Amino acid sequence: MRLLQRSLVARIVASLLAITAMVLISIVVTMSVANSSRGDAAAINMAGSLRMNSYQIAAALLYYQQQPDASRREQVERLITRFRERLTSHELVGAIPAADDHELREEYRRLLARWEQELAPQVKTSLQEERLDDQALRETLDDLVGDIDHMVTLLEQNAESKIRLISALQILFLILTAAVVAIALYDIRHNLVIPLRQLVSLAREVAHHNFRPRSHLRGNDELALLGRTLDTMAKELGSSYAALEDRVSTKQQELQRSNQAMQILHDGSRFLYGGGNDLCASAAPMLRELETLLDIGPIQLSLNDSFDQQPTPVLATHSTTRPDYCRDWECHACLIEPHSLELEPDAERECLLLPINMGNELLGTLEIWHAKTTPLSDSTRRLLNALSDQLATAVYLQRRIEEQQQVTLMNERTIIARELHDSLAQSLSYLKMQVARLERMQQKNASRETQAAVFDELRTGLNSAYRQLRELLTTFRLKLEGPGLKSTLLQTTEEFAERMGAPVEFFYDLPPYLLNPNEEIHVLQIVREALANTHKHAHAHWAAVSLHFSNAQLLLQIEDDGVGLKDNNSPAMHYGLVIMSDRAQTLGGELTLGNRAAGGTLVALRFTPQTARLIARQPGHGARDVATTTNHRE
């Protein structure tokens, strides 16, 4: 209780816990009552079906007496069995309270006794003697239906009583919750809202530099302690505010100059990072503005050669002549006259040498001259360090872009060379061997029939080589509407859909940057070869290409609804299938061909991408995995 008196937070928490507890108790009690009513509807439905079942038994007996035969007798016995099963079913018995003195339990026993002792023996006697006492059966049936109606009424009343109990409990807990909420709101208003308004008013006055008002809060809770603390703080702030104004006024000019310099650096960064390789046009205006603002200069930028690390001057703000390395004679950035420094004629200058480096790589140096009588302040030095970092970033990005362009060009050439070697070069080698074979046959005067077989192989090889050449030209001439493999495959499916005159569906579910360029070109060529076979041989009205990645494996499927294979085994490997199989082996995967269950052919390729292999080799080293993957793609 003492904690509740001294702590506003404790009182709020206690109110929330009380509300939460009542809500939880209400939910638990409601769920318990609702759970006890589970099955009541099924029991009512089951009890109601007994009434119809009893009438069906009476009607079946009447038909049996009119025309006794085995089928009608079996129908009567089947209805009796169904009535007994429903009467003793779990749906009905489970909804009856377990108490022996409960009215519903007594009614069930009465109904069960009437069935077993009255109706069931009468039905059995009628079947055995083939004689029906219509009057007695009707009376027994009326009594049984009356008991069933009474039992249904009791079941409905039992279910309604549970619903009324739930409603009463909800109203009770709602009243209790409302009472706790009202008490909590009263406490919050008098002990939180009003003191908080006073504190806000005090803070507003302090924000307007008025430190005279006080809160004068009394009590032992947190807001009272905060009010006394704010009163003390306002008193101390009032005494120190005047001293702070004096110190701020001395720093104002320096801060304004630093802000202007930062604005210059910010504006100049756009020209640095977007100016290409022309540092004169992009950096010279920014350096001159900094010279004017900070009273420094001249500034000279030198960059190290990437091979022999020899420094080469590339920019000087006080240059009077065009440098020897200048490539743009229409640019006059380095020839603009600098501002006049306010220095005595004999004033000495000293140089601040800043490195232009990125990590451990020294890219160059930045020479900044200034008057020796006016040393650079700490804020100016920080600004110049930021300038050197910006220049280093710009130079580094320019070099990386050039290197990446070279790597990209080499990768494209490597891919083209590999594709020519894997397809066209092999075909030409095959044709060369066939020509040598034909020469030997001619030297031995072989028969025309024997040479004709070689000519057929040469013709087939030439057609295959020509087709592969056209496929390679088509592949490398694809116009990419977006980056990556997905755009290329989408164009391929649209191309073959137009050629086949049938829809080719496309499903793509791969994470970005999963495949390297070599893997992408192999996957693309396998898809094109499979679709070409579908176009030529399948007579299909539909095809689909799907790519999925799961469990560190990529699954590629090309399927159609065409004529399929003669059997479910892979066909004899002709040249296109051999190339597809070789590509699958190059990827370290498995290529399978077979018939679809719904008809048609299915070509499936499953392999582990090189990126997934690199990650699997270094488990638990996420940063190293990402770096390795990035380097591999480069």
Per DSSP bridges, beta strands 601-607 and 543-550 are unpaired
User: Which residue's structure tokens are 């030198």?
Assistant: 302
Amino acid at 413: R
pLDDT of residue 273: 67
Residue of higher predicted confidence among 182 and 411: 182
pLDDT of residue 333: 61
Average pLDDT over residues 384-395: 82
- Going from the C-alpha of 336 to that of each of 74, 276, 301, the distances in angstroms are 116, 21, 16
Report residue 625's pLDDT band, with 50, 70 and 90 as the boundaries: very low
Q: What is the mean pLDDT of the chain?
A: 76
Average pLDDT over residues 471-490: 67
- Condensed to tens digits (0 to 9), the pLDDT of residues 43-56 reads 777 777 777 877 77
How many C-beta atoms surround the C-beta of residue 613 within 10 A? 12
Residue of higher predicted confidence among 25 and 49: 25
- Going from the C-alpha of 114 to that of each of 49, 142, 152, 306, 618, the distances in angstroms are 17, 11, 16, 107, 79
Report residue 199's pLDDT band, with 50, 70 and 90 as the boundaries: confident
CA dist., res. 360 & res. 237, Å (int): 48
Residue 62, pLDDT > 70, answer: yes
Kindly report which listed range (205-219, 348-362, 407-421, 496-510) carries the lowest average pLDDT score. 407-421
Residue 339, pLDDT > 50, answer: no
CA dist., res. 217 & res. 50, Å (int): 77
CA dist., res. 148 & res. 49, Å (int): 9
pLDDT of residue 493: 92
Q: Using CB atoms within 10 A of its CB, is residue 250 exposed (0-12), middle (13-18) or buried (19+)? A: exposed
Contact predicate 589/557, CB 8 Å? no
Contact predicate 83/115, CB 8 Å? yes
Contact predicate 155/161, CB 8 Å? no
Among residues 485, 568, 563, 566, which one has the least CA distance to residue 527? 485
Among residues 265, 379, 287, which one has the least CA distance to residue 333? 287
Report residue 558's pLDDT band, with 50, 70 and 90 as the boundaries: very high
Contact predicate 547/510, CB 8 Å? yes
Residue 264, pLDDT > 80, answer: no
How does DSSP assign 539-568, residue by residue? --S-EEEEEEEETTEEEEEEEE-SS--SSS
Average pLDDT over residues 449-454: 80
Give the CA-trace dihedral at 19, 20, 22, 24, to 10 degrees: 160
List, as own/partner pairs, every contact residues 189-194 make where C-beta atoms lie below 8 angstroms and the sequence separation is at least 24, other chains included.
191/8, 191/11, 191/219, 191/221, 191/223, 192/8, 192/12, 192/223
Per DSSP bridges, beta strands 553-560 and 601-607 are antiparallel
Residue 177, pLDDT > 80, answer: yes
**Half-sphere exposure (Cβ direction) of 204: Cα atoms closer than 13 Å:** 6
CA dist., res. 564 & res. 594, Å (int): 8
Residue 506 forms beta bridges with which residues?
545
Contact predicate 209/241, CB 8 Å? yes
Residue of higher predicted confidence among 262 and 507: 507
Alpha helical stretches, state H, 189-221: 194-207
Contact predicate 601/560, CB 8 Å? yes
Query: Sheet of 311-316: strands edge to edge?
Result: 311-316, 299-304, 361-371, 349-358
pTM beyond 0.85: the answer is no
Contact predicate 354/384, CB 8 Å? yes
Both structure tokens of 377: 């302040």
84 contact partners, CB below 8 Å, separation of at least 6: 115, 120
Average pLDDT over residues 343-366: 75
How many C-beta atoms surround the C-beta of residue 402 within 10 A? 11
Contact predicate 195/19, CB 8 Å? no
pLDDT of residue 359: 79
pLDDT of residue 353: 84
- Condensed to tens digits (0 to 9), the pLDDT of residues 103-122 reads 777 777 777 777 777 777 77
3-state secondary structure of 593: strand
Q: What 3 state SS string does 283-299 have?
A: HHHHHHHHHHHHCCCCE
Residue of higher predicted confidence among 468 and 562: 562
Per DSSP bridges, beta strands 361-371 and 504-509 are unpaired
Whole-number CA gyration radius for the chain:
47
- Condensed to tens digits (0 to 9), the pLDDT of residues 609-621 reads 987 555 555 444 4
> Averaging pLDDT over each range in 175-179, 338-342, 465-469, which range is the top one?
175-179
Q: Where are the beta strands (DSSP E) in 474-611?
A: 504-509, 543-550, 553-560, 590-595, 601-607
Residue 478, pLDDT > 80, answer: no
pLDDT of residue 244: 80
Contact predicate 299/316, CB 8 Å? yes
Residue 342, pLDDT > 70, answer: no
Contact predicate 314/303, CB 8 Å? yes
Residue 210, pLDDT > 50, answer: yes
pLDDT above 90 coverage of the chain, percent: 8
Both structure tokens of 1: 């209780």
Report residue 69's pLDDT band, with 50, 70 and 90 as the boundaries: confident
Triad 375, 378, 379: Cα angle to 5°: 115
> Averaging pLDDT over each range in 28-37, 129-138, 216-225, 548-557, which range is the top one?
548-557
Report residue 409's pLDDT band, with 50, 70 and 90 as the boundaries: low
Kindly report which listed range (34-38, 170-174, 474-478) carries the lowest average pLDDT score. 474-478
CA dist., res. 495 & res. 545, Å (int): 13
CA dist., res. 288 & res. 305, Å (int): 25
Query: 2-190: what CATH class?
Result: mainly alpha
Residue 84, pLDDT > 70, answer: yes
Average pLDDT over residues 33-40: 72
* CATH no., domain 481-634: 3.30.565.10
Report residue 1's pLDDT band, with 50, 70 and 90 as the boundaries: low
Report residue 378's pLDDT band, with 50, 70 and 90 as the boundaries: confident
Residue 78, pLDDT > 90, answer: no
pLDDT of residue 626: 35
Domain spans in the chain, listed from the N-terminal domain onward: 2-190, 209-265, 275-376, 481-634
Residue of higher predicted confidence among 131 and 602: 602
CA dist., res. 215 & res. 197, Å (int): 10
pLDDT of residue 454: 78
Angle at which helices 517-533 and 448-476 pack, to 10 degrees?
A: 120
Query: Sheet of 504-509: strands edge to edge?
Result: 504-509, 543-550, 553-560, 601-607, 590-595
pLDDT of residue 276: 53
Report residue 423's pLDDT band, with 50, 70 and 90 as the boundaries: low
CA dist., res. 333 & res. 317, Å (int): 9
298 preceded by a cis bond (ω within 30 of 0): yes
Report residue 559's pLDDT band, with 50, 70 and 90 as the boundaries: very high
551 contact partners, CB below 8 Å, separation of at least 6: none
pLDDT of residue 55: 76
Triad 527, 528, 532: Cα angle to 5°: 120
Residue 358 forms beta bridges with which residues?
361
pLDDT of residue 48: 76
